[in-house]
Chain A
Amino acid sequence: MNLLRHVAAREVKIGFRNPWAYSFMALFTLFMFSLLLIILQGYVSGYSGVSGTMLNLAIYLLPLMALMLGSFSLTGDKEEGNWELLSTYALGTGAYLLGKYIGLAIVLLTIVAAGFGLSGLAGSMFGGGFDLATYGRLLIFAALLSLFFLAIALLIGTLSRNRWQALTAAVGVWFFAIIAWPSLLIAVLGMLPYLWIKPAVTALVFLNPAELTRLFTVVKLGGGSTLGPEYYKWVKWILQPWGTPAFAGISLLWISILFTVSYVLWERRRGRG
């Protein structure tokens, strides 16, 4: 437990000395501010043009940030020999990875908080901006998105030998999950019999955390009816009282599974090494 805390604290410390963290923070804050200028033309409540745009920009930026910071942190340890040094101590892989995850999560959430905090404050000062519910949901959405992709980043970091490999994989995963996702699904699933499409799309949504969190947030913002009659039951299910805890459970499960896979792979390499 103590070790875990040490790893996490070290990660946070290194994280905030990393110019990457600051440039990402600046980037995210800048784009939140640019959105604010749009928002100031109107009050944002629920699912609207502005919150939709915001959702999409967060989907572009945050996963990329999480993937890069996360995977570079692990491969950096490998490349710079930190991991070998740490291995000489009685430090378990679990404590190391979890410490890394927690530390990086703190860094990422700080970046998210900075972006949301500054734009939210400016918005409320200039008399435009968000209502609390929409603001809160978008904030939770951004935080979740970061946590999901940080788990993927750990896996990428585990599998990659150096930063270059990690960068390639990170950008690949990002492009696949964010940009190419609908194209791929429409192309591939379009060949399936009509009745299989919906179950296939639904199942695949659970594999892509970007889509999963986006859809959950859209429904929570009151935009469930945009998904059409096919998903009526899903929308109703999410909106019932159990919807949010169930989604939290799925998120936790999702991150745990990815973490476990990373752990097992890391252990195996450690054994071999």
Chain B
Amino acid sequence: MTSTCRLALRSTIMGWLVVAVLSGGQASAAAAESASGHPSTTANHTGSVDVSDVSSASMTTDLQPILDEAEPGSTIVLKPGIYLGPAVIRKPLELRSEIAGESILLNESEESALIVEADDVTLAGIRIRDEAFKPQATIVVSGDRARIEQLWIATGADGISVKDADNGTITSTVIDWTPREVSMAAKGNGIDLFNSHRWRIDGNTVSDAHDGIYMEKSDDTIVTGNVVERSRYGIHCMYTARTVIRGNVGKANVTGAMVMTATEVEVNGNTFTKQNENVHSQGILLFDAHDSVFEDNKVEGNRTGFYVEQSTGNVIVGNEAIYNFVGIQLLDAESNVVEGNLFQGNVADAQARGSSNNEIAGNYWDGFSGIDTDGDGYSDTAYAINPFFQGVTQKRAAFQLFFQSPGMEFLEELFQNNRDDWSRDVKPLMAPPGFDGANPSHGSSKATGYLSLLLIIAVIGMLYMNRRRTI
């Protein structure tokens, strides 16, 4: 039925833009259709069909009148073209692009490009260009059960800002923070949740933003499979509870995941790499985090792999902290469990201060060589984390310059008093847990081989030239 109706419509209006709005009678049917996962690609029905006709293909049109004319509960399908913001959605409806990514919402005002005030609004497939550097977020959502899927957002503010709205989803959306030459602190967040609970944020990509995904006072949100790059913090929880952060990837951010003043957060299977440029960089940071679980994450090549400060009751198990400058840093952290993690290739395996009451056991530290007399795979001697350097640099940050300097290592060896109070792994693993001998990035070292060969030839030549001649 749809194709014939569409043809009929096309023939009557001959414009590049078709906006078909379902009549109220079909609203519930359309809502059911979209809710069932089969979004209608066109809208076309008898009844009060309202069409905005634009005669020239090069023209742009305002989005707001289209929204105003739509019936509550209807589906608006945007033909490819450029639509002008700002716009406000005040009734439940579905706004989608006929061809994903071909309908562009352009906003050059200082306002938000799109404000969703109503509940049950769906946005899909639209490309939004809102690149002015400004405080108003590109999309503001204050209605419950919003569904945002597959948008492309170029923003100069917060990408999607959700406030006091629950039970929404944001999926497969790409958010790119585009203005250049703006300091990190002045940028907006990719996705920003405030006092909004039970959201699902899945498969989105955020780059060059302030925080990729920021959640404040927003509980029970599930954040899965997102990618955040070159932003300040990848995923950032503040005052949240029961947040699930699973299978996300962070690259070259200041910090991968930041869990602050949060409880019962679950962080597992994430990968955070190359967070090492900034002096405050970490793979995963826990500050004032409690009773949370951090499992099977991989933090590689960061300044600090795990940074745990003033946090209690957390479980950190089965993670891989490799090739970081510092594997794990414990500062005034108590009664956490750190078990079965791999710490390999870090410049310093661990640093700790005021954190003696944690359960640290069964981790593999490649900087530690233990003795296993009973052959159970665990060392009989404990790995104690020397707090000396932490203590010195806490009082006088200038001495951070001695990080891992030979003289500093010597000095640490000398300071062995109160050894009983040190954080320690009571039975470190003798071999990496389930280690497959894999190198993280086994690049070609052929060039190194040639250079080495050259050096050897030079040495041989030198020795030959200066050999003792028997004359």
Contacts and interface: CB of A to CB of B under 8 A. Distances in A.
Interface of A: 12-13, 15-17, 41-43, 45-50, 52, 56, 59-60, 106, 110, 113-114, 116-121, 123-125, 127-132, 135-136, 139, 178-183, 185-186, 189-190, 194, 197-198, 201, 205, 211, 214-215, 218, 222-223, 225-232
A114 B443 contact: no
B449 A117 contact: no
B448 A197 contact: no
A229 B279 CA distance: 5
25 contacts: A12-B462, A15-B466, A16-B467, A46-B323, A48-B323, A56-B404, A106-B462, A114-B456, A117-B455, A119-B452, A120-B451, A121-B452, A123-B452, A127-B445, A129-B448, A129-B449, A181-B407, A186-B399, A189-B396, A190-B396, A222-B276, A227-B400, A228-B401, A230-B400, A230-B401
A183 B407 contact: yes
Nearest to A184: B407
A13 B345 contact: no
Contact of B346 (A15, A48, A120): A48
Contacts of A56: 404-406, 409
B398 A225 contact: no
A50 B467 CA distance: 36
B452 A182 contact: no
A159 B74 CA distance: 94
Contact of A49 (B347, B405, B443): B347
B345 A42 contact: yes
Contact of B396 (A110, A136, A197, A214): A197
Nearest to A180: B407
B459 interface: yes
A186 B405 CA distance: 13
A89 B270 CA distance: 74
A131 B446 CA distance: 8
Interface string B450-471: 0111111011001100111000
Given A48-B346, A124-B452, A215-B401, A228 B279 contact: yes
Contacts of B447: 132
Contact of A124 (B276, B393, B404, B448): B448
Interface in B413-431: none
Contacts of A230: 397-398, 400-401
Closest 7 CB pairs of A and B: A124-B449, A120-B452, A117-B455, A228-B400, A43-B439, A117-B456, A121-B452
A228 B400 CA distance: 6
Contacts of B454: 117
B344 A45 contact: no
Given A124-B452, A201-B398, A49 B367 contact: yes
A119 B405 CA distance: 23
Contacts of A120: 448-449, 451-452, 455
Nearest to A14: B466
Contacts of B406: 56, 59-60, 178-179
Interface in B333-351: 344-347, 349
A225 B277 CA distance: 6
A136 B454 CA distance: 13
A135 B401 contact: no
A222 B440 CA distance: 17
B448 A132 contact: yes
Contacts of A227: 279, 400-401, 403
A198 B278 contact: no
A53 to B, nearest CB: 9
B448 to A, nearest CB: 5
Contacts of A123: 445, 448-449, 452
Which of B346, B403, B446, B451 counts the most A-chain CB atoms under 10 A from its CB? B451
B315 to A, nearest CB: 26
A45 B441 CA distance: 9
A225 B463 contact: no
Contacts of A48: 323, 345-347
A180 B410 CA distance: 8
B163 to A, nearest CB: 33
Given A120-B449, A179-B406, A228-B397, A128 B439 contact: yes
A226 B325 contact: yes
B180 interface: no
Nearest to A131: B443
A230 B451 CA distance: 37
Interface string B273-310: 00011111100000000000000000001010000000
Contacts of B396: 186, 189-190, 194, 197
Given A56-B404, A110-B459, A136 B277 contact: no
A141 B442 CA distance: 24
A132 B451 contact: yes
B301 to A, nearest CB: 7
B401 A231 contact: yes
A114 B459 contact: yes
B392 interface: yes
Contacts of A181: 405, 407
A116 B404 contact: no
Interface string B202-221: 00000000000000000000
Given A12-B466, A194-B396, 7 more contacts: A59-B405, A110-B458, A121-B456, A124-B445, A131-B443, A182-B405, A228-B279
Contact of A183 (B398, B411, B462): B411
A130 B456 contact: no
A124 B301 contact: no
A129 B442 CA distance: 9
A43 B448 contact: no
A198 B398 contact: yes
A44 to B, nearest CB: 8
A182 B408 contact: yes
B399 A185 contact: yes
A183 B323 CA distance: 28
A136 B450 CA distance: 12
B405 A214 contact: yes
Interface string B320-333: 00010110000000
